[in-house]
Amino acid sequence: MIAISDLLFRYPEGEFELNVPELEVAAGETVAVIGPSGSGKTTLLHLMAGIRLPQKGTVVTDEVEVTGLDDGARRDFRIRRIGMVFQEFELLEYLTVLDNILLPYRINGSLKLDGSVRERAVSIAEQVGIADKLNRLSTRLSHGEKQRVAVCRALIAEPVLLLADEPTGNLDPTNTLKVLDILLDAAEATGATLVTVTHDHDLLPRFDRSIDVMDLIDIKHDQGPTLPDSEHISSGPQITQIDADRGKENE
């Protein structure tokens, strides 16, 4: 499903480098990505999705070399084949919860919005406990409710790859297990691959394996800060996963 080789990624400023000589994630595998703040967990997910491009190396996702696609092709590829849960949710404030969930179908002509899709949106919302809020604007949601809307949107198109950046980070223990179960069950039901960034090591036994990003990075000098994790940095608006690379991403 994912094959990374000879990858080198640097940010324009700072001493951070992400070096990945070789990394593979098998189709249908569930993987947790761990590491301290600033270690590049979000960056790794963005490279897998083609939101960011490395200075060197290749990223092949679902048999497509995303590093060889132009911006438009990468956006289309993401919306059709990847479901993403961003750490900052990236919901549109002027849309209702239901319309935010259905957003991938509104912005890509290759996805057909019909009654069955709407029924699936309602069903997923029921599973995560927000069915009673489908007509509410996202501005009237709690942090945890926004998180669950983002999870529903990632699942709506039944993607072959799920990339989730701290999908349970703002949830209480009960809802943490509920949302993780939904992601794992969805991946199993459709045969999708799931790669999830998490700080919660208690969740690791639920995954097939874990990847520690500290095994991949290289800090060139002892001095100089690494780039903070996405939760510590503000960015411009990111509308959806397909055009997140039009602006500055979160890590």
Three-state SS across the chain?
A: CEEEEEEEEECCCCCCEEEEEEEEECCCCEEEEECCCCCCHHHHHHHHHCCCCCCEEEEEECCEEHHHCCHHHHHHHHHHHEEEECCCCCCCCCCEHHHHHCHHHHCCCCCCCCHHHHHHHHHHHHHHCCHHHCCCEHHHCCHHHHHHHHHHHHHHCCCCEEEEECCCCCCCHHHHHHHHHHHHHHHHHHCCEEEEECCCHHHHHHCCEEEEHHHCECCCCCCCCCCCCHHHCCCCCCCCCCCHHHCCCCC
- Per-residue pLDDT at 215: 83
**28 in a structural domain:** yes
**97 in a structural domain:** no
What residue type is assigned to position 15 of the chain?
Answer: E
- Per-residue pLDDT at 144: 86
Predicted TM-score of the model (pTM):
0.82
Task: Say how far apart CA 110 and CA 10 lie, in whole Å.
Answer: 34
**109 in a structural domain:** no
**196 in a structural domain:** yes
Cβ neighbours of 174 (radius 10 Å)? 9
Overall domain count for the chain: 1
- Per-residue pLDDT at 155: 93
- Per-residue pLDDT at 223: 35
**15 in a structural domain:** yes
**150 in a structural domain:** no
**134 in a structural domain:** no
End-to-end alpha-carbon separation of the chain, Å? 24
Range of the domain at 22: 2-92+159-170+180-246
**127 in a structural domain:** no
pLDDT in tens, the chain (251 residues): 999 999 999 988 877 888 899 999 999 999 999 998 888 899 999 999 999 999 999 999 999 999 999 998 998 899 889 999 988 889 999 999 999 999 999 888 778 999 999 999 999 999 889 999 999 999 999 988 998 999 999 999 999 999 999 988 878 888 888 889 989 988 998 899 999 999 999 999 999 999 999 887 654 433 333 444 443 332 322 333 333 333 333 34
CATH number of residue 58's parent domain: 3.40.50.300
